[in-house]
Amino acid sequence: MSESEETGKAPTSIMEVSAYDPEARDNPHPKMKRLRETHPVLRDEPLKTWLLSRYDDVRATVNDRTFDRHPRNAEPGSMLSMLGDPDDPEGKRTSILFQDDPDHARNRLPLVKAFYARIKKMEPEIEAIIDRVIEAAPASGRFDLMEEIAVPLPIAIIAHILGVDENRLDEFRDWSEGVILGLNPARSDEETNYMTASADKLNAYFTQLMEERRVAPKDDLISDMVQAQADGGDFDDDELRTNLQALLVGGNLTTTDLIGNGVWLFLNHPDQLEALKADPTLASQAVEEVLRFEAPVQATSRVVSEDRDVAGCPMKKSQPVFMLLAAANRDPSKFEAPETFDITPKRASHMSFGGGAHICIGAPLARIEARRVYQKLFERYPSMTLPKQDIVWRALPFFRGIERLKVEV
Ligand code: HEM
C-alpha cells in the first residue's frame, strides 16, 4: 500500500469507495479500510444514504427481515430511489431482487425450489459445458481469459438450465449482453437503445418458450416453472418472465468476475495455486477465499422501514442503508490477516452473497462453476502465467471485475 493510501483522508461519500472514483476503481480496499476504521456508520447527506462497513453491522442488517428493499420505499432524491422504475408503479417489472414481501416470498420460493432442483440435477451437464469451453480455448500462446472463458461460460450455462434452444444460443447471448447494460448507469444512448431492444427480444423469446413448454414440456427450468404455475403457483406470466431474466442479469457478470478475479489472484499468488494443486480438497475453500478477497458485488442495500437504531445510530423510515460487503469481508474483528489472500485456513463466512430474505439465489451455481473452472483450467494449463499488462478494472459502480485478462499458456 502506498504512503498516500495509508495517510489519505477518510472517505466522506459512498462514491469515493465505488468504481466512479479512479483510485477506488483500481483498488477499493485501502479506502474501505479507512472508512471502516474511522466512520463505520457513515451518513452521506448529499446522496441521503447511510453506509455500513463493519462485519457485524453488515451481517445484522442484511439478515434483518424487517428492512425494506424496494427503491420506491426509499426517500425521494436518495441514491437508491434513483434505481426505481417510474413507468412501473405496480412493480410488475420488478424482479425478486427489489421486491418486498408478500410479493418477494410469493415469487422467490417457487423459483428457488425449481432452480435448486435443476442445478442439482444438471451438475454433470454444467461441468461438461465448462470442460468443453475450456478445451475449446487456444492450446498455446496468449489469449484473453475473459473473452475466451469467463464471459461466455455463465451465459452458456444459464441458457442450458433455462432451456434455450441450441440454434438460438448466439442471439440469446447477444440479448443477454444487452440487458446486462441495465446495471450500468453511465451507459451511452446507443447502449440504452441496444439494452431496450435486447429486453424486448428477450421478452418475446421467453414468452414463446413459455408457450411452447406448456404444450410440450422439456427437461429445463422454464418447463419446471410453467408446470409450477399450472399446479397452483401464485405468480403470473409477467412476474415469471421478469424473474427468469433476473437470473441472467444477476448471474452472468458476477460469475464472470468470480472466474476472472480468481484466476488473477491465483496467478499473482503462486504459493496459493500450488497449495490448491497439492490438495484438491481445498477447492471449495479456494472459491470462498476468492469471494471474500475480491467480492464481485461490493455492496447491497436495504431501506429502513420505521424509525429505529441501526448499528447504534438513530435512522429514519425510508432512509436507504448501503452495506459494503467488500469492507465487511476484510474486517479484522472477524478474519485473521484479512488483507492476505490465503486459501488454507478455515475462515468465517464472507458476506459476498448478502444474506437474509434476499441472499443470492445463484450462490450454489456460482460456486459449482468457479470450483470446476479453477480445477479444469489449471489442469489443462499447468504453466499458465500472466504476461506484463495493465489490469483495467470495470467502471461499473459496486461491481469488481477485470475487463481483459491476458494469459500465457
Ligand atoms: C459470484 C457470483 C455472484 C455474486 C457475488 C452474487 C451476489 C449477489 C448479491 C450480493 C445479492 C444481493 C443479496 C442481498 O441483498 O442480501 C444477490 C442477489 C441475487 N442474485 Fe446473485 N450473485 C452471484 C451469482 C448469481 C447467479 C449465478 C445468479 C443466477 C443464476 C444470481 C441471481 C441473483 C438473484 C436473482 C438475486 C436476487 C435475490 C433476491 O433478492 O431475493 N446471482 N447476488
Q: What is the pLDDT of residues 153-193, one digit of tens each?
A: 999 999 999 999 888 888 998 898 888 887 776 788 998 89
Phi and psi at 140, nearest 5°, equal -155, 170
Ligand 1: residues whose CB is within 6 Å?
62, 96-97, 108, 158, 246-247, 250-251, 254-255, 258, 296-297, 300, 352-356, 358-362, 365-366
d(CA 300, CA 302) in angstroms, rounded, equals: 7
Q: Give the pLDDT of residue 328.
A: 98
Average pLDDT of the residues in 205-214: 96
Q: What is the pLDDT of residue 181?
A: 80
* pLDDT at residue 182 in the model: 77
Ligand 1 pocket check: which of 360, 367, 373, 398 to mutate, most ligand atoms within 8 Å of Cβ? 360
* Mean pLDDT of all residues in 383-396: 95
Give the pLDDT band (50/70/90) at residue 2. Answer: very low
d(CA 255, CA 263): 12
* Residue 6 confidence (pLDDT): 52
pLDDT over 70, % of the chain: 96
Task: Express each pLDDT in 30-61 by its tens digit.
Answer: 999 999 999 999 999 999 999 999 999 999 99
Distance (Å) from CA 133 to ligand 1 centroid? 24
Q: What is the CA(331)–ligand 1 centre distance, in A?
A: 22
Q: Where are the beta strands (DSSP E) in 140-279?
A: 142-144
Q: In the 8-state DSSP scheme, what is residue 402?
A: B
**Segment 214-223 mean pLDDT:** 97
Ligand 1 atom 13: the closest Cα is on which residue? 354
Q: Which three cell numbers mark 323?
A: 452495506
pLDDT for residue 10 = 87
Confidence of residue 3 (pLDDT cuts 50, 70, 90): very low
CA 254 to ligand 1 centroid distance, Å:
8
Cis peptide bond prior to 89, omega within 30° of 0: no
Mean pLDDT to the nearest integer, 226-250: 93
Using only C-alpha atoms, the chain has a radius of gyration, in whole angstroms, of: 21
Which ligand 1 atom minimizes the distance to the CA of 243?
35
- Which pLDDT band, with edges at 50, 70 and 90, does 249 fall under? confident
User: What per-residue confidence (pLDDT) applies to 36?
Assistant: 97
Place of cell 480455448: 137
Q: Which residues pair with 42 in a beta bridge?
A: 51
The answer to whether the Cα torsion of 108, 98, 246, 250 is positive or negative is negative
Average pLDDT for 243-265: 94
Nine cell digits for residue 244 = 427468469
**Count of alpha carbons within 13 angstroms of residue 119, beta-carbon side:** 16
Q: Which atom of ligand 1 is nearest to the CA of 62?
A: 16
- Rounded to 5 degrees, what are φ and ψ at 42? -105, 135
* pLDDT for residue 78 is more than 70: yes
User: Separation of 215 CA from ligand 1 center, angstroms?
Assistant: 31
Measured in residues, the chain has a length of 409
Closest residue to atom 9 of ligand 1, CA basis: 353
C-alpha cell at position 94: 420488478
DSSP classification of residue 171: H
CA-wise closest residue to 133 among 121, 115, 145:
145
In 3D space, the residue among 239, 10, 71, 258 whose CA is nearest the CA of residue 154 turns out to be 258
What average pLDDT does the structure give for the chain?
A: 93
Nearest ligand 1 atom, CA 295: 5
Between CA 25 and CA 400 the distance in angstroms is 8
Q: What is the DSSP letter of 351?
A: S
Ligand 1 centroid to Cα of residue 386, in Å, is 29
At 97, list the grid cell: 431482487
- In the Cβ-directed half-sphere of 344, how many Cα atoms lie within 13 Å? 11
pLDDT number for residue 89: 65
Determine the distance separating the centroid of ligand 1 and the alpha carbon of 252, expressed in angstroms.
Answer: 10
Local structure of residue 23 (DSSP, 8 states):
H
CA distance 21 to 85: 26
For residue range 84-114, list pLDDT tens digits in order: 776 676 666 789 999 999 999 999 999 999 9
Q: What's the domain range around 328?
A: 3-408
Gap between the Cα atoms of 243 and 158, Å rounded:
13
Q: In the prediction, which pLDDT does 7 show? A: 53
Whole-angstrom distance, CA of residue 51 vs CA of residue 34 = 13
CA of 191 to the centre of ligand 1 (A): 24
For residues 23-28, average pLDDT: 96
Residue nearest atom 17 of ligand 1, based on CA coordinates: 360
How large a percentage of the chain has pLDDT more than 90? 83
For residue 157, the SS3 value is: helix
pLDDT, tens only, 135-158: 999 999 999 999 999 999 999 999
Q: What is the pLDDT of residues 287-322, one digit of tens each?
A: 999 999 999 999 999 999 999 999 999 999 999 999
Q: What is the sign, positive or negative, of the torsion defined by CA atoms of 354, 359, 26, 338?
A: positive
Which CATH number covers residue 37?
A: 1.10.630.10
Greater model confidence, 11 or 8:
11
pLDDT in tens, 330-344: 999 999 999 999 999
The confidence band for 355, taking pLDDT boundaries of 50, 70 and 90, is: very high
Count: domains in the chain: 1
